[in-house]
Chain A
Amino acid sequence: MKLSKDSRKTAKQLFQASFVDGRLDSQRLLQATSLVIERKPRNYVGILKEIQRQVRLETAKSHVVIDSAINLSSEEMDRVMNDLRSKYGNDLSPELHIKPELLGGLRIQVGSDVYDGSVRGRLANLEKTLAA
């Protein structure tokens, strides 16, 4: 269902109010959402869904998905994460996936940035340049 302008505005205000020093504060967010649930303003489900969407987008910004052909040791993982932290700041949450179909190398996604160093990615790129 389409969210009304007012509900969207409320959701946005609540979401923005949950920020402390430019970072999303989970305590404040919980406080805000439980208040919404308690007071039940008009279309509160829609408001909560909108907040949920905003939070999902916000957390995705600092979420790191590492696809690797083989399992990474904790040192390797630390090295990768340290590299990324120097670029994207400290509050990154990593998530490792083992994907043998990459053949080799890593594919790292931070927010909407993707660093593709996998063999599969390079092969696909090669295919594209040869086809053109």
Chain B
Amino acid sequence: MSTILQELESQISGLSTSAMKSNVGVVREAGDGVAKIEGLSDVMLNELIEFPGGLYGLALNLEETEVGCVLLGDFTEVKEGTEVKTTGRLLSVPVGKGLLGRVVNTLGEPIDGKGPIVSDTTYPVEKIAPGIIKRKSVSQPVQTGIMAIDAMIPIGRGQRELIIGDRATGKTTVAIDTILNQAQINKANVGNPDFRPIYSIYVGIGQKNSNIARSIAILEKAGAMEYTIIVSASASESATNQYLAPFAGAAMSEWFMDNGMDALIVYDDLSKHAVAYRQVSLVLKRPSGREAYPGDVFYLHSRLLERSARVDEKNGNGSVTALPIIETQAGDVSAYIPTNVISITDGQIYLETDLFYQGIRPAISVGLSVSRVGSAAQIKATKQVAGKIKGDLAQYRELAAFAQFGSDLDAKTKATLDRGQRIVELFKQTQYMPLTIELQVAVLWTMQNGYLDDIAVDKIKDFQNKLMEFFKTRKTDLLAKIINKKAIDDEITAELKSALSDFKSTYK
């Protein structure tokens, strides 16, 4: 009994000295969303600093006598002499499934007017990426639903594939299409115990609010929002919020990875992110380097993209696939930020203005687009029908340039040209209409086996659409077989042959 009494006594005596210790500082200078603070002798790098009125700041510069701090939120009330204090916390955002279907800002606060976020977990915004031991190689596909990408530039779960191109070449469309396709696949596989759904996170950085609203409307219309989180730091928000938004999105996607799920994150776009970071750095008076970007702009993007990974069973058994977007100026991929991000990512999808205006949409430049890890992640059926397409198209482009001058062509050259033209036609695809992988396999099989050779080039699209309709309405069991076996065997080949002869006899 006496021991309990003593314990209680010691607890009570511990309570009585509960004067709270904190570390304070005084604002000396404020402006442009940055405050210089004197004092704060115990502050840590990246620590949250509390301002009066519920405003928080982030300590980014620790100098000899001052602390440079960026403000998260309305900074107009901060004045010289304002007393601030350290919190001992890092900036963190709510994570979890409660965020799905929601639109949030950089701090994870809802901005869609649908009430508070239900979440009991938070993740720090800045986190070190998983190390070598925790990782697993990329071997499962992320199907974008865009035939040109799935066939030639496949993306795997845990990969980082850059989408790069000039303004208005369809970069965001590629990303939105991919998100739509994930939702489509997730819905089709509800109740399938072996299926691993992919949850999408779309991070809009420095975008026009109208653009984000349009993307949300498309996702809502297609019913994809229930698998999607939108993190928005639009052009009207502070540079600080734009700089932190992708890290907040990465934290949200990491929760899925740590809990045995797969996530896809789109950073739209990292050029504007670099610009926002440049602004923050310059007002913090950090030395500037090339194009006035600070020296650590490479590390800014590398540490962000390194957080996409596929981890093994012991460390979460999930993955984060990243689709960063970079906007080039007049097709210049050798500018500073594009080269940085190209070297960080595992490949890029290059979209060209010329192709876009020739009507080849998505305007994917086959020669300049690569996927460095993707082919390991393709299903066997796609490999069987699409293995040679990239080479065929490259040959076609080379010959097409020469064929413009001469009229006499030998039979082999003509065959290559004809095949190439038909592939280009097949890869044209309407936006926001992702195709299932089995349908892509069926269409590509048709092309590879010469069923398109006697169709005029301008009729290819019509033929393809009718053929897909035919497969979707009359041959659903065949499509199911392709997706279940994930490969084309003799039985499927025979069925495809009979289906095509059926279809061709009725097509006109």
Whether the Cβ atoms of A115 and B21 lie closer than 8 Å is: yes
Contacts of A116 in B (CB 8 A): 19-20, 22
A112 close to chain B: CB less than 8 A: yes
Q: How many angstroms from the CA of A67 to the CA of B38 in the assembled complex?
A: 21
B112 close to chain A: CB less than 8 A: no
Q: How many angstroms from the CA of A111 to the CA of B43 in the assembled complex?
A: 13
Q: How many angstroms from the CA of A54 to the CA of B18 in the assembled complex?
A: 34
Contacts of A30 in B (CB 8 A): none
Q: How many angstroms from the CA of A53 to the CA of B36 in the assembled complex?
A: 15
Contacts of A113 in B (CB 8 A): 21-24, 41-42
- Contact string, B5-18, partner A, CB cutoff 8 A, digits 1/0? 00000000000001
Whether the Cβ atoms of A111 and B41 lie closer than 8 Å is: yes
Whether the Cβ atoms of A57 and B38 lie closer than 8 Å is: yes
Q: How many angstroms from the CA of A107 to the CA of B265 in the assembled complex?
A: 48
Contacts of B39 in A (CB 8 A): 60, 111-112
Residue ID in chain B nearest A107 by CB atoms: B19
A31 close to chain B: CB less than 8 A: no
Q: How many angstroms from the CA of A61 to the CA of B25 in the assembled complex?
A: 12
Contacts of B40 in A (CB 8 A): 112
Contacts of B25 in A (CB 8 A): 112
- Contact string, A42-56, partner B, CB cutoff 8 A, digits 1/0? 000000000001100
Contacts of B85 in A (CB 8 A): 114
B65 close to chain A: CB less than 8 A: yes
Whether the Cβ atoms of A112 and B42 lie closer than 8 Å is: yes
Contacts of B21 in A (CB 8 A): 113-115
Contacts of B42 in A (CB 8 A): 112-113
Chain B CB count within 10 A is highest, among A54, A106, A113, for A113
Whether the Cβ atoms of A121 and B41 lie closer than 8 Å is: no
Shortest CB distance B421–A (Å): 64
Instruction: From B18, B24, B38, give the contact of A109 (CB < 8 A).
Output: B24
Residue ID in chain A nearest B50 by CB atoms: A128
Chain A CB count within 10 A is highest, among B19, B42, B65, for B19
Instruction: From B18, B24, B65, give the contact of A114 (CB < 8 A).
Output: B24
Shortest CB distance A106–B (Å): 8
Contacts of A125 in B (CB 8 A): 20
Shortest CB distance B103–A (Å): 23
Shortest CB distance A98–B (Å): 19
Contacts of A117 in B (CB 8 A): 18-20
Shortest CB distance A50–B (Å): 10
Whether the Cβ atoms of A112 and B19 lie closer than 8 Å is: no
Contacts of A115 in B (CB 8 A): 19-21
A:83-126 near B, CB below 8 Å: 105-106, 109, 111-117, 121-122, 125
B:446-490 near A, CB below 8 Å: none
Residue ID in chain A nearest B43 by CB atoms: A112
Contacts of A106 in B (CB 8 A): 19
Residue ID in chain A nearest B25 by CB atoms: A112
Shortest CB distance A95–B (Å): 16
Shortest CB distance A57–B (Å): 6
Q: How many angstroms from the CA of A61 to the CA of B85 in the assembled complex?
A: 16
Contacts of A57 in B (CB 8 A): 38, 65
Shortest CB distance B147–A (Å): 50
Residue ID in chain A nearest B16 by CB atoms: A117
Shortest CB distance A52–B (Å): 13
Contacts of B18 in A (CB 8 A): 117
Q: How many angstroms from the CA of A112 to the CA of B41 in the assembled complex?
A: 6
Contacts of A54 in B (CB 8 A): 65
Q: How many angstroms from the CA of A57 to the CA of B40 in the assembled complex?
A: 12
Q: How many angstroms from the CA of A121 to the CA of B20 in the assembled complex?
A: 9
Shortest CB distance A56–B (Å): 9
Q: How many angstroms from the CA of A60 to the CA of B39 in the assembled complex?
A: 9
Shortest CB distance A104–B (Å): 12
Whether the Cβ atoms of A112 and B65 lie closer than 8 Å is: no
Q: How many angstroms from the CA of A111 to the CA of B21 in the assembled complex?
A: 12
Residue ID in chain B nearest A131 by CB atoms: B54
Whether the Cβ atoms of B20 and A112 lie closer than 8 Å is: no
Q: How many angstroms from the CA of A83 to the CA of B69 in the assembled complex?
A: 33
Q: How many angstroms from the CA of A45 to the CA of B407 in the assembled complex?
A: 85
Q: How many angstroms from the CA of A112 to the CA of B42 in the assembled complex?
A: 8
Shortest CB distance B32–A (Å): 16
Residue ID in chain B nearest A105 by CB atoms: B19
Whether the Cβ atoms of B41 and A114 lie closer than 8 Å is: no
Instruction: From A53, A60, A105, A114, give the contact of B23 (CB < 8 A).
Output: A114
- Contact string, B202-218, partner A, CB cutoff 8 A, digits 1/0? 00000000000000000
Q: How many angstroms from the CA of A54 to the CA of B66 in the assembled complex?
A: 11
Shortest CB distance A6–B (Å): 17
Residue ID in chain A nearest B17 by CB atoms: A117
Residue ID in chain B nearest A118 by CB atoms: B19
Q: How many angstroms from the CA of A106 to the CA of B21 in the assembled complex?
A: 12
Shortest CB distance A70–B (Å): 17
Q: How many angstroms from the CA of A122 to the CA of B15 in the assembled complex?
A: 13
Residue ID in chain A nearest B85 by CB atoms: A114
B:390-415 near A, CB below 8 Å: none
Contacts of B19 in A (CB 8 A): 105-106, 115-117
Q: How many angstroms from the CA of A95 to the CA of B41 in the assembled complex?
A: 21
Q: Which 7 A-B pairs have the closest CB atoms?
A: A117-B19, A112-B39, A112-B41, A115-B19, A114-B22, A116-B20, A114-B24
Q: A111-B39, A116-B20 are in contact. List 10 more A-B contacts (CB 8 A).
A: A105-B19, A106-B19, A111-B41, A112-B41, A113-B21, A115-B20, A116-B19, A117-B20, A122-B20, A125-B20
Task: Give residues in A with beta carbon < 8 Å to B.
Answer: 53-54, 57, 60-61, 105-106, 109, 111-117, 121-122, 125
21 A-B Cβ contacts within 8 A?
A: A57-B38, A57-B65, A106-B19, A112-B25, A112-B39, A112-B41, A112-B42, A113-B21, A113-B22, A113-B24, A113-B41, A114-B21, A114-B22, A114-B24, A114-B85, A115-B20, A115-B21, A116-B22, A117-B19, A122-B20, A125-B20
